[in-house]
Structure 1
């Protein structure tokens, strides 16, 4: 599959498990910040990102529950080949569960970062509201 030209796009509400091919249309990753590294998001986008990272972490947790079965594999027979096969399957299951735990941690950390950004956003909104409310009322 060829990768489309241009920058990647962020599509709020997109569930990757439902995507059958890469779609280059949609929203954007945010406006680059001129004074340094990073991006600016509006409040709705931040809420959507928190939800998406949280949902992805939940999907990985469900996968982790299924992967736990691999770590407990028993050999189908009582001979060397069966025992060796079960041992290799358990090792694969352990590698899979370790990888899934890392992915869960990453997704939860990303959701927490966006939650922290929402907190900063709310603080900035409160400060702006307080500044506006301190202005004299009426026509000047």
Structure 2
């Protein structure tokens, strides 16, 4: 079985870096999560960080990374209705490109998008009704 076949047919395994909210969201969907305790470098460690990064051939590492990206051969694997393949997704769950958010944590543009989505999906008739949900 190829790496791609294992990726598409195996159980999802996700690595997260320091954001518990993201890890919890992924775990709630049934995926295995490997949590790393990453934090930004501490103030005052700039010289040590510069020494370490100078010892690494960043150009070679970047060439390797870009080579791997452009050397892939992606293909369409399938399409499905999100609520049919995401067990925890309810009628009032809206997906976006980030971790789960509560209404209070949404920015103005995000709230506007959610209000529009609720009206489009027939969950509300007006912006005021959407906000009340």
TM-score using structure 1 length: 0.21
Normalized per residue, which structure has more helix? 1
| Larger relative contact order, structure 1 or 2 (CA cutoff 8 Å, min sep 6) | 1
Normalized per residue, which structure has more strand? 2
Larger radius of gyration: 1
